[in-house]
């Protein structure tokens, strides 16, 4: 309860920081707080989708987060990687970017640039075998969690970029097609029927789990 109360206090300060940062680039933001039920229940899922599309029409940048003031471990998304993938699927995003503390996925020592995997065409067991997570007291999840979230996105037709969020102008470099991080290609093409797409999405949200693997 103490952490949930702290989240309620901290949200306005966090949004103020986002608003000031985006204003420097000429953008305005909108805050969207979601819970598991907002995506697991069909009616609320569709309402969330309509709301986000409306925000986009207004030219606003939605800042989306889990509603930590009411979410619990039992009914939470688990981490922001999973939430970002569910949202990418929800809005049928053209692409998704996950920023980490490492420049993509590595086949060995991540401090050796030669080990960086530039492109992943399929999410196989071999891909997951490259990961050896270390615990960070300031984060939830880790690289294994990120790969689990990425698998959700690519199997729904959304390509994902994984890159170092600390790198200068990292988003611009990704969008300019520079060799940054790792690109995970989608397993299927877009354009499936809405019913098939919705069924594929719901198989992930029927039962919340803490571990994607």
Compute the distance between CA of residue 83 and CA of residue 172 in angstroms, rounded to an integer: 23
Residue 59 in any domain: the answer is: yes
Indicate if 134 and 103 belong to the same structural domain: yes
Q: Mean pLDDT in runs of 10 for the chain (213 residues)? A: 72 91 95 83 85 94 85 59 87 92 84 84 84 56 83 90 94 93 83 50 51 38
3-state secondary structure 70-113: CCCCCCCCCCHHHHHHHHHHHCCCCCEEEEECCCCEECCCCCCH
Indicate if 106 and 198 belong to the same structural domain: yes
Q: What is the pLDDT of residue 123?
A: 85
Indicate if 98 and 195 belong to the same structural domain: yes
- What is the DSSP pairing of strand 119-120 with strand 105-106? unpaired
Indicate if 56 and 100 belong to the same structural domain: no
For residue 160, the enclosing domain spans 94-213
Residue 29 in any domain: the answer is: yes
In this prediction the pTM is 0.79
Indicate if 70 and 6 belong to the same structural domain: yes
Structure-block tokens of residue 79:
């981490």
Q: What are residue 106's DSSP bridge partners?
A: 116
Indicate if 114 and 140 belong to the same structural domain: yes
Indicate if 101 and 181 belong to the same structural domain: yes
Nearest 10 degrees: Cα torsion 160, 161, 163, 167: -130
Nearest 10 degrees: Cα torsion 42, 36, 129, 189: 30
Q: What is the pLDDT of residue 86?
A: 86
Q: What is the pLDDT of residue 38?
A: 80
């Amino acid at each position: 309860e103490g952490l949930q109360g702290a989240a309620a206090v901290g949200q306005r300060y966090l949004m103020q920081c986002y608003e000031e940062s985006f204003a420097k680039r000429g953008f305005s933001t909108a805050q969207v707080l979601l819970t598991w039920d907002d995506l697991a229940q069909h009616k609320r899922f569709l309402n969330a989708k309509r709301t986000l599309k409306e925000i986009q029409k207004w030219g606003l940048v939605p800042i989306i987060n889990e509603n930590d003031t009411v979410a619990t471990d039992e009914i939470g998304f688990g981490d922001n990687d999973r939430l970002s993938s569910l949202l990418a699927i929800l809005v049928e995003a053209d692409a998704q970017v996950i920023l980490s503390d490492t420049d993509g996925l590595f086949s060995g020592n991540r401090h050796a640039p030669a080990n960086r995997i530039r492109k992943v065409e399929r999410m196989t067991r071999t891909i997951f075998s490259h990961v050896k997570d270390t615990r960070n007291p300031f984060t939830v999840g880790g690289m294994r969690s990120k790969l689990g979230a990425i698998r959700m996105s690519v199997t729904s037709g959304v390509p994902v970029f994984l890159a170092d969020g600390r790198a200068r102008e990292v988003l611009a470099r990704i969008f300019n097609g520079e060799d940054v991080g790792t690109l995970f290609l989608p397993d299927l093409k877009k354009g499936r029927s809405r019913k098939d797409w919705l069924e594929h999405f719901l198989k992930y949200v029927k039962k919340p789990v803490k571990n994607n693997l």
